[in-house]
Structure 1
Amino acid sequence: MRGLYSSKTKIRQQIFTEVARFAYEGGDYSKFESLPYKIIPGEISTYRESVFLERAIVGERLRLAMGLNLLSADEQAPISTGVEESMIDEKVYEPPLINIIKFACHSCPEKRVFVSNGCQGCLEHPCTEVCPKGAISIVHGKSFIDEEKCIKCGKCQSACPYNAIIKQERPCAAACGMKAIHSDEYGRADIDYNKCVSCGMCLVSCPFSAIVDKSQIFQTIKALQSDTPVYAAVAPAVAGQFAGLPATKIRNAFKALGFEDVVEVAVGADLCTVEEAKDFMEEVPAKQPFMATSCCPAWSVMAKKTFPDIASYISMALTPMVLTGRLTKQDHPGCRVVFIGPCAAKKLEASRRSIRSDIDFVLTFEEVAGMFAAKEVDFAALEPDEKPLSFSSADGRGFAVSGGVAKAVVNAIHRMNPEREVKIANAQGLDECMKLLRMAKAGKYNGYLLEGMACPGGCVAGAGTINVPEKSAAENLKSKKSSPFETACESPYVDILPELENLYNEFSHKNKE
């Protein structure tokens, strides 16, 4: 659960910290073998039935944190297998991004409805009356559900005046808006990668921490230790993510990790806003019935997988991450750019052939927290920097919260054409996003601008966040108030947008050849 410090959070943080320390200190790769013993010391288990199982799970998590594939449970191999090849300063990524450590999975039931001890054996028995399949009977004065007849509709749960009937669903599957999680032959969770969009909501929801995404921490640190300058491109959701790190110290904090400087992805959000505003005015309704925003990669991939016939109605504007990377590399030729944000799906977006040259690595806030811990960066001792990170608008920073993208685009349209009326509809969470697109396909949103966010609450609730999403949203609002101007149209970078698009078109053409 995001914002909750638990044993799951602690282990994740230890793993990111140890991998970061392993990278910063360097040395023999065989040291990797001892890390599970450092993270899980002693002879007595703390979290599971066996200390050996705990270390085996940590070993697989360490491999994923190095960007490596899982080892098969029936394969006899050291956890450092392949580590030496991954100790480089370049991107290491082989699908899939989201992985299930099978022997860490609790094999939760997919879905069930059962009667708890709270049943009072009441006279009315409303549960038996509402059940459409006659699956509930009274046994020894208490309600009893016949699992073979039950269709898990939940009507009995709603009818029970004592809340004694519980409807349970596997947490990872319940969180997956793509319905991509099912059971394998042993009852363990399994991912259908043809459906998965790598939003990471299953990762967040698994209480057993059996679902893990791959990381690029090690490779990023090796790049920081090279002679090539590396820039941190921080997402608008950064506000309030690192406890004790105010906005005035963000630049120096990242410099302490080895970054050359910090740039705001909100600058790219401004450019994306202007482009989407222009697209909407030109395309809707003259060429297409509605337009959907493009900045959330999980939402975009979901739409293309599930609604291919209306996928072309998603804006073709480059995302804030890509535009920021492109702008940074234009200002600093030969540099590398690391996107740092709350999103797991951005790792996949940055691996597409058309944008590999612009974003070299992607890290989440949670992973960067491990780097801060490994380097023992003392936020309190850092000097504040009066120079702003960049000149971005309040609307650009507002991309971090649900509804913020559509609001920014509408504000830009009104600046360009005050007479233009724009109707908007937005959804958060892939379940709701799919409903939105179904209604749009049916013609319910003709003339609308649609915004979809895969994570409920927006980017502030992404899989890689640290802070409580509600608190992050409040911090984002404070960040917006400190912006030098209100709308994206006022950005000093707007004039170079065509040049950045031309670079994109040239690169895309070369990769198609």
Structure 2
Amino acid sequence: MSLKGIFTVIAKVRRDVFTEVARFAYEGEDYNKLEEIPYKIVPGEVAQIRESIFLERAIVGERIRLAMGLPLRKVNEHAPLSTGIDEHTVQNIIYKPPFVNIIKFACNSCPDNVYKTTDICRGCLARPCIEVCPKNAVSMVNGKSFIDQEKCIKCGRCKNVCPYSAIVKLERPCAVSCGMDAIKSDELGRATIDYDKCVSCGVCISSCPFGAIADKTQIFQLINEMKTGNKVIAEIAPAFAGQFGPKVTPEKLKAALLELGFFDVVEVAIGADLCTIEEAEDYLAKVPEKLDFMATSCCPSWSVMAKKQFPEFKENISMAMTPMVFTARFIKQRYEDSKVVFIGPCVSKKLEATRKSVKSHVDYVLTFEEVMGMFEAKGIKLEEMEPATNFNYGTGAGRGFAVSGGVASAVVDVIKKIDPDREVPIDKADGLKECRNMLLLAKAGKRNGYLLEGMACPGGCVAGTGTIQPVNKSTATINNYKKKAELQVANESKYAEVLANLDDSWYDDWDIEK
């Protein structure tokens, strides 16, 4: 179960860390002052959320390092917070995997796959839990059912027959949420990540109720980039609508981003439109003559999972660039000396940006949550901003990429425009476990001719780790924003011809503010 959308104490600490790291970057480079931040975030002498205030501050310290783009320190070695910071830190060189990290001493060593009897047990006379246990692991102790963990084989029969639902299965929340089965336990019972399996979806971050999992950020590096005076352009993902509050219109958000120091702001929905057109053309050209089915490409965690676990389907994943890359490439062609920052909802894009084919286009990746920290550090009141202009690039289809089903729907609409008689069956899955099940159906030959959409986050991009608002609320806002677009189908976009004609002629028509 995800905690996304609930403003818990963990969410507050995350926000405070992002804000203080941003403030530190804005105010100077006295790295000794990093040591003061944990005391600012966790003031006083008495612990508020953990058993020790020293533990609280130590965990905040590790979160600060990750927010600086630095790796975690070793628990058994002394090192100041600033260890590892040098001239390379501010040059975007240290930002590398793993992006998702477990702070070991914040982990509660949650029990995993354990059956236990709760106080709900009524000590009934039938005692079916005892009767069905194949290993005699269940007995009555002080009038209630008791499970001997040494004998228990985790079959779950006792749980299934209890008339009071008094027997529960305890599972590690982060492991349950992981669609790649990448989270196990170390020798001390703490969570550990198998990075050979991990696809950096970040779902585990939103699922850990102890705040033990966190991701690296580029807040520090980006702010230092801006301080050099370089031309930095923000491309903002479709899921942004409503993330910064109900009264913060897209135009106000653009004005706030310009106030932060961005040279311009571009809606990634235009790249989504181009991705849609290319995927529609791919489908028409390849299915079913060359491929049994085709799958969308915009979610990196989904596509990496598919290629890792179903290598035979490597060619079935569309080769179209993701909306992030499409948009970034066009920005770089328009402004050759610019730096591009993708602002979006998820950790997955951080991993995508490290690919050789991507990193020359996308220089930085920040989440909505991280950018909110920058706004707070600068004291920017988004609701009070005077609205900017020209923030209407994408079609309704491109904006709809943010919600589950939006990508497939956009592609089918374009296919219908090109070939009205073509029937395109679709299937979609959100959450990597569901995505895997969808591909298993494809492997069994039950999805021939289909267009498949996969999303790592349950609910789509609006449920990404770096989002701020509840998923249902965000979905409704996106759907409303989608309806307001002047054009609804992707191939109606004024940039559609860019795919067919990549010469300089499109520059003059691309109305990004100079």
Normalised-by-shorter TM-score class: over 0.9
Return closer, same or farther for 1:18/1:391 CA change in 2, 3 Å cut-off.
same
In structure 2, the residue matched to 1:319 is: 322
Q: Whole-Å Cα distance in 1 between the matches of residues 83 and 414 of structure 2?
A: 52
In structure 1, the residue matched to 2:85 is: 83
In structure 1, the residue matched to 2:278 is: 275
Return closer, same or farther for 1:444/1:423 CA change in 2, 3 Å cut-off.
same
**SS of the residue aligned with 1:455?**
coil
Deviation at 1:193, TM superposition (A): 0.5
1:376 aligns with 2:379: yes
Deviations, residues 233-280 of structure 1 (Å, cap 9, x unaligned)? 111110110124222311101111111111111110000000000000
8 A contact 2:401–2:407 mirrored in 1: yes
Q: Whole-Å Cα distance in 1 between the matches of residues 192 and 200 of structure 2?
A: 14
Q: Whole-Å Cα distance in 1 between the matches of residues 87 and 163 of structure 2?
A: 60
Q: Whole-Å Cα distance in 1 between the matches of residues 357 and 392 of structure 2?
A: 26
Query: What's the RMSD between the two structures over aligned residues?
Result: 1.7
In structure 1, the residue matched to 2:58 is: 56
In structure 2, the residue matched to 1:160 is: 162
Question: Pairwise mapping of residues 76-475 of structure 1 onto structure 2 (< 5 A)?
Answer: 76-85=78-87, 87-131=89-133, 133-243=135-245, 244-385=247-388, 387-475=389-477
8 A contact 1:327–1:500 mirrored in 2: no
**SS of the residue aligned with 2:283?**
helix
TM normalised by structure 1 equals 0.95
Deviation at 1:381, TM superposition (A): 2.2
Return closer, same or farther for 1:500/1:173 CA change in 2, 3 Å cut-off.
farther
Q: Report the residue type matching 2:364 in the other structure.
A: F
Return closer, same or farther for 1:472/1:222 CA change in 2, 3 Å cut-off.
same
More displaced, 171-180 or 41-50? 41-50
8 A contact 2:115–2:154 mirrored in 1: yes
Deviations, residues 31-59 of structure 1 (Å, cap 9, x unaligned)? 11211111112222222222221111111
Q: Whole-Å Cα distance in 2 between the matches of residues 27 and 281 of structure 1?
A: 55
More displaced, 354-363 or 119-128? 119-128
Q: Whole-Å Cα distance in 2 between the matches of residues 464 and 501 of structure 1?
A: 36
Deviation at 1:357, TM superposition (A): 1.4
8 A contact 1:69–1:94 mirrored in 2: no
Q: Report the residue type matching 1:274 in the other structure.
A: I
Q: Report the residue type matching 2:115 in the other structure.
A: V
Return closer, same or farther for 1:78/1:275 CA change in 2, 3 Å cut-off.
same
In structure 1, the residue matched to 2:45 is: 43
Q: Report the residue type matching 2:250 in the other structure.
A: A
Deviation at 1:283, TM superposition (A): 0.6
- Give unpaired runs (5+ residues) of structure 1: 503-513
8 A contact 2:253–2:382 mirrored in 1: no
Deviation at 1:396, TM superposition (A): 0.8
Deviations, residues 274-321 of structure 1 (Å, cap 9, x unaligned)? 000000011111001111110000001101111111122100000000
**SS of the residue aligned with 1:262?**
strand
8 A contact 1:236–1:265 mirrored in 2: yes
8 A contact 1:323–1:500 mirrored in 2: no
Deviations, residues 210-244 of structure 1 (Å, cap 9, x unaligned)? 11111001111112222221111111110110124
Q: Whole-Å Cα distance in 2 between the matches of residues 86 and 2 of structure 1?
A: 34
Deviation at 1:147, TM superposition (A): 1.9
In structure 2, the residue matched to 1:511 is: none
Q: Whole-Å Cα distance in 2 between the matches of residues 499 and 342 of structure 1?
A: 31
Q: Report the residue type matching 1:356 in the other structure.
A: K
Return closer, same or farther for 1:140/1:34 CA change in 2, 3 Å cut-off.
closer
Deviation at 1:453, TM superposition (A): 0.5
More displaced, 58-67 or 151-160? 151-160
Q: Whole-Å Cα distance in 1 between the matches of residues 138 and 28 of structure 2?
A: 63
- Give unpaired runs (5+ residues) of structure 2: 505-514
8 A contact 2:243–2:368 mirrored in 1: yes
Deviations, residues 315-355 of structure 1 (Å, cap 9, x unaligned)? 00000000010111122221111111111010010111111
**SS of the residue aligned with 1:355?**
coil
8 A contact 2:392–2:485 mirrored in 1: no
Deviation at 1:433, TM superposition (A): 0.6
8 A contact 2:252–2:383 mirrored in 1: no
Return closer, same or farther for 1:229/1:161 CA change in 2, 3 Å cut-off.
same
Q: Whole-Å Cα distance in 2 between the matches of residues 188 and 158 of structure 1?
A: 28
Q: Whole-Å Cα distance in 2 between the matches of residues 132 and 471 of structure 1?
A: 47
More displaced, 96-105 or 117-126? 117-126
8 A contact 1:91–1:216 mirrored in 2: no
**SS of the residue aligned with 2:340?**
strand
Deviation at 1:141, TM superposition (A): 2.9
**SS of the residue aligned with 1:357?**
coil
Question: Pairwise mapping of residues 468-507 of structure 1 onto structure 2 (< 5 A)?
Answer: 468-498=470-500
**SS of the residue aligned with 2:414?**
helix
Deviation at 1:412, TM superposition (A): 0.6
Return closer, same or farther for 1:500/1:450 CA change in 2, 3 Å cut-off.
farther
Deviations, residues 485-512 of structure 1 (Å, cap 9, x unaligned)? 111010111111145699xxxxxxxxxx
Q: Report the residue type matching 2:450 in the other structure.
A: Y
Q: Whole-Å Cα distance in 2 between the matches of residues 491 and 364 of structure 1?
A: 26
More displaced, 102-111 or 138-147? 138-147
**SS of the residue aligned with 2:499?**
helix
Deviation at 1:131, TM superposition (A): 4.1
Deviations, residues 150-192 of structure 1 (Å, cap 9, x unaligned)? 3334343343232211111001101101000111111111100
Q: Report the residue type matching 1:444 in the other structure.
A: K
Q: Report the residue type matching 1:337 in the other structure.
A: V
TM normalised by structure 2 equals 0.94
Q: Whole-Å Cα distance in 1 between the matches of residues 146 and 255 of structure 2?
A: 62
More displaced, 89-98 or 167-176? 89-98
In structure 2, the residue matched to 1:508 is: none
Deviation at 1:369, TM superposition (A): 0.8
Q: Whole-Å Cα distance in 2 between the matches of residues 500 and 347 of structure 1?
A: 27
Q: Whole-Å Cα distance in 2 between the matches of residues 399 and 129 of structure 1?
A: 52
Q: Whole-Å Cα distance in 2 between the matches of residues 154 and 449 of structure 1?
A: 37
Deviation at 1:125, TM superposition (A): 2.8
Q: Report the residue type matching 1:369 in the other structure.
A: M
8 A contact 1:249–1:382 mirrored in 2: yes
Q: Report the residue type matching 2:342 in the other structure.
A: F
**SS of the residue aligned with 1:88?**
helix
